[in-house]
Amino acid sequence: MNEFEVIPAVDMQDGQVVQLVGGERGTETTYGDPVEAATDWVEAGAETLHLVDLDGAFEGERKNADAIDAIVDACEIDLQLGGGIRTAEGARGLLDQGLDRVILGTAAVENPEIVEEISETHPGTVTVSLDAKDGEVVVSGWQEGTGLDPVEAATRYENLGAGAILFTNVDVEGQLDGVRTEPVERLAAAVDIPVIASGGVATIEDILALREAGASAVVVGSALYEGEFTLEDAQQAVEES
């Protein structure tokens, strides 16, 4: 990930693409078939896709595995997957199957050494997801607080071999109400590995603000699916700014 990227999200629940508001189940808007969505984003110019198995995130079981397998077969761009990855063995299996990066949230908080275990055999492939609500890292589908400060956690995972940090601000996630740059600035200043920002993007200006804050990439979901702007327009604005 050398240049700043705008990465479309393909969040999956019950075999459909969805976007949640504030991470709450029951708030989802549905956007159809995940494989169709993924291939559409590739055709639109995406260089990376952010895949999330929400059933896996909430329940710890990867229920959208068939759709994810089909996306791996259909898309020849970088793919990163989070949700329900709980073991080093499971993560290695996904990487060997064709995914480029695995995203660990709950598993990394409960067992930080898993980051080191995976990194030993697949260096640079682990992205640790730090999802923050009211400034505290939360896990289990954003339902449980951990008492962890995102900056302290990010530094620890960098030392364990994480290749990147995915920071999601749950307070603004899915609301199309704008981003908060200060937590991203703090994280980007604290670690040398890439920080991928997520949550709250409503406009192209939000994307540019996150880049200015030090993010290496931004994951966008609702704004793209709701047509607030196109992927092409966002990429063009990044290139021209």
97: number of Cβ within 10 Å: 12
The residue from 55, 100, 131, 206 that is catalytic is: 131
Task: Identify the DSSP state of 56.
Answer: H
Question: How far is residue 58 from each of residues 42, 85, 103, 223, measured CA to CA in Å?
Answer: 27, 11, 15, 23
Query: Which structure tokens are listed for 234?
Result: 């966002």
| 134 SS3 class | coil
For residues 23 and 53, the answer to whether their CB atoms sit within 8 Å is no
Q: How far is Cα of residue 61 from the mean position of the Cα atoms in its chain?
A: 18
132: left (phi over 0), alpha (psi -120 to 50) or beta: beta
- φ/ψ of 172, rounded to 5, equals -120, 0
Instruction: Point out which residues pair with 219 in neighbouring strands.
Output: 7, 198
11 noted as active-site residue: yes
For residues 231 and 8, the answer to whether their CB atoms sit within 8 Å is yes
33 noted as active-site residue: no
129: left (phi over 0), alpha (psi -120 to 50) or beta: beta
Q: Of 206, 158, 203, 162, which Cα lies nearest the Cα of 184?
A: 206
Residues annotated as catalytic (active site), given as ranges: 11, 131
